[in-house]
Amino acid sequence: AGEGLFESLRGAEYPQDHFARGFLAETVEQLVGVRALCEEVACQARGDKECRFVVYPLGEADPERWRKALEG
């Protein structure tokens, strides 16, 4: 989760933390040795309380499944 990130300007329609997504995906790739994808599932720029990210192996991307899991 992130709060007060540079990209957190309000009023955006889509998640805006592109740098953070890329950084997190590459960090996981370097640590684990598996290509990774990072999705921003909550974004302050869209009005969410905080920015939240999910990183998972590339090829297992199912954004709807991840959204449902995170929302409970």
pLDDT of 33-53, one tens digit each? 888 889 998 888 888 888 899
Residue in this structure with the two tokens 């007060």, named with its chain if needed: 4
Range of the domain at 25: 18-71
**Is 12 part of a structural domain of the chain?**
no
Total of domains in the chain: 1
Instruction: With cut-offs at 50, 70 and 90, classify the pLDDT of residue 21.
Output: very high
Here the tokens at position 7 are 């990209």
pLDDT at 2 over 70: no
**Is 37 part of a structural domain of the chain?**
yes
- pTM, whole model, 2 decimals? 0.67
Residue in this structure with the two tokens 């991307």, named with its chain if needed: 61
Average confidence (pLDDT) over 58-66: 68
pLDDT at 25 over 90: yes
Between the CA of residue 2 and those of 6, 21, 66, 69, what are the distances in Å?
Answer: 10, 11, 18, 19
**Is 51 part of a structural domain of the chain?**
yes
Radius of gyration of the chain (CA): 12
**Is 3 part of a structural domain of the chain?**
no
